Structure 1
Amino acid sequence: MTSNPKHTLRPLPSVMVAPNGARLNKADHPALPETVAEITATALACARAGADGIHAHVRDQDGNHTLDAGLYRELLAELALTVPAMQHQITTEAVGRYSPDQQIDLVRSVQPALVSVSLAEMTSDGWTSQVEDFYRWCDDSGIAVQHILYSPDDLGELVRLCSQGRIPATRLQMLFVLGRYGQGVPSTPETICGFLQLLPQLASEPDWAVCAFGHSETACLRAAERLGGKIRIGFENNTVNENGSVARDNAERVGQFISGRSSS
């Protein structure tokens, strides 16, 4: 299979905004975007604030997370018109609702330039030929897969699969997730070191980023940048600014993080 000419694999954005996620809604914050129009407007505001990428979830008519290929195609088309300089990443997040086959079907249908894929979710039914074919197809098609890793153990599993040739080991992109939604697992900057200790086991140096939850999000993201990583920021994980105030919107989170770099 030859590479897809419409996709040119680029490095991860330095600041990727995650404006909505799969779990929160307008009851959590009225500025959380849910419709295609709202997500697109948020992307534009965040681009003006300094974000160079967006990690987007689409919602159904009731505001619920969905892996709807049609909605993703609509969103990507709007983002291409409105913020063409940004990188546009879709998600395959299961949230306990979608199987690996459904996640794979979404990516094959939409064929995005960038997609985030949780290794733990994709292998929840075990390592199958369909999963292996999916990762190889993405690599052959020039689709940038950002491997979502919830713990150093997940990274250890990725290292193992890469060493066995089951997942392409070049041009690896990763997201280290610090903490958990509502599980009492705090986000701490020190957690990053557990991931970084495993990176020398890979055949090539990966492109990595970090996301974190709650009030400690900013401290974790600043630590990631100091260690050479990139960041994912936004209402998917946290709605509170570094000074403890509730952010007006995603663009304020982005802008305040970027403006605070000089003093961190």
Structure 2
Amino acid sequence: MPFKRESLLDELEAGVLDDRVSLSAILRKCVVLGGRAGSEKLRDWASLELNGYSGDQDLPEYRRIPAPLFIKVTNFAGYNPIEQQLHGTQIPEPIRDEVDDWECALIFSGVGEVEALVDRNEKSVHLSPSWAGSLVSMLNNVNQTGNSRAAAVYWTVSTAALKGSLSRVRATLATLVAELRASTPDGQALPDKAAADGAVQLIVTGDRNTVTFATQQTEGGGSNTVSIGAGEPDAPKRGWQRWKKPGTVIVGLATIGGTAVGVLTWLDWTPW
């Protein structure tokens, strides 16, 4: 019996079901599969997961992790650090409204970086918001105590939460593969563009782009099978959260810096 080579879709399915295969390796195959199927949507989604999201793109819900926000304060020379949690309610109100959720870590990094963080086997990791540097600078500029300074602002994210996020990426890939299988006719090695685009629409928005297969009669009396897509491929996204671009938050902070003049003293930070 001749050897039957696995298709790229077969390899993708096998990788999703094998926890030993890294998500990065699976996503690279998704990029290639999107190219072969002619699906820009599949290539783009897999590339975002591989290379990371930028501030002007919506993040999937699984990349939004509840996490406490901390600030590290030192004396003016940079010694004797004190770490204290910052609750959203402790932020002065004009500043507080500039961020949708201060205690929610946004994971913009590519999957490979997140996998590397998990592989460090630490209980938790510190992740800096994109606006951390600007917030630290503003606090130091308006601080009038003279004996303390803000050194860093970061989220403390548990490794378990990062593992959970990666697990949801794999589950999303499983849904993608299942949808591709269901919409690809038997005997066809690769999904067509409509099937691939519809599968991405499902995992991104939760909306299924129905693909049916209808038999048409040919002039010679034979038949062929064609795919017909239905639905709205560009329907508004429902399954992804929208929030302000990171990096835009401090635009407003610069104009309301006076409200934070007493922040360090107010929180009773006096490192010596």
* Fold conserved between structures, TM > 0.5: no
* TM-score tier after normalising by the smaller chain length: under 0.3
Bigger Rg, which one: 2
The structure whose RCO (Cα within 8 Å, separation 6+) is larger is 2
TM-score (norm 1): 0.22
TM-score (norm 2): 0.21
